[in-house]
Amino acid sequence: MPELPDVEHHRRTVAEHATGQRVERVAINDPALLEGTSPQGLGRSLVGRTVTAPRRHGKWLILEFDGEDGPHLLVHFRMTGRLVWHEDGEVAGDDAVALHLEHGVLAYRSERRLGAVWYLPPGTEREEVTGPLGPDAVTLDRNGLAEVLGDRRGGLKSALLDQARIAGLGNELVDEVLWRSRLHPRRRAASLEPDELDALHQQLRIVLRRAIRAGHVPAGPTWLNGQRAEREPRCPDCGGPLVRERIAGRTTLWCPTEQPPPGVGG
DNA sequence: CCTAATGTTTGTGC
DNA sequence: AGCACAAACATTAG
């Protein structure tokens, strides 16, 4: 579930509750979810430091600490990760990594244990952990989008999911944006006409803005995403049945009426 | 029992 | 090299 809007929600949680507070101690319940250092090493690096303004790039949350060359924590949520703020200072058993601060506890959980918290030593490049990341989807302008898709030979959906090209879009966001842009996910990425690029960029902005406001990709009656869990999903727009098939390795929903499949050549 | 699930990595093959 | 696909990762829900 966590895509860009969910990570942005977690970033705001940190900004509202944790920024400006000193780390008093760290508690590691699940060492497997702490990468790049040991529990003891994390304590040595962070205790006494103050949490500064959190940043986000794509689906990565970047926690920073004060000091000349303060260390960073890089947080990825994968399928089921999330951050929890404990005002009362109590941690739960499923809090894998917890930072005890002056007025509460910031805890990372990952139910299916796919995500993790990476310790990034001072002076280390972020890309060594995150791999190459394209521009954040929020900051991508229309020409940037054209650039990212233009030299791609493959399908539109797989291009939009490629974090090295555009950082932050996941399965739900991409299906939603393609549906609203009336573009079929199997279109060749480089085959879009200027007006199609305009529509894609405009819908991307609208969907991102609304999803960030909600803290997740909405699943209301006017959202394609609301049909994802339905046994017989229907197009919220035309009422016809949606197609559910595997595209770019992911379960994909699309409307056969509003998103015509590409013809020969893309 | 089996299958599928949000994301990413890795291996394989065209 | 670029891209697609499958499997793997760990766990739960159906």
The whole-number pLDDT of residue A185 equals 93
Alpha-carbon gap, residue A106 to A90, rounded angstroms? 10
Q: Which tens digits make up the pLDDT trace of A81-104?
A: 999 999 998 998 889 999 999 999
pLDDT tens by residue, A19-76: 999 999 999 999 999 999 999 999 999 999 999 999 999 999 999 999 888 899 999 9
Q: For residue A77, give the nucleotide whose C1' atom is nearest its CA.
A: B7
Question: What DSSP string describes A153-206?
Answer: -SBHHHHHH-TTTSBS--HHHHHHHHHHHT--TTSBGGG--HHHHHHHHHHHHH
Structure-token match 């002056």, residue found: A102
Nucleotides on chain C that have an atom closer than 7 A to a protein CB are 2-7, 9-12
What is the reported pLDDT for A1? 63
So what's the pLDDT on residue A76?
94
State the nucleotide closest to A151 in CA–C1' terms: C2
pLDDT at A181 over 80: yes
Average pLDDT of the residues of chain A: 92
Check residues A230 and A100 and name the one with the higher pLDDT. A100
pLDDT band of A266, cuts 50, 70, 90: low
A250, A256, A258, A262: the active-site residue = A250
Give the pLDDT score at A264: 55
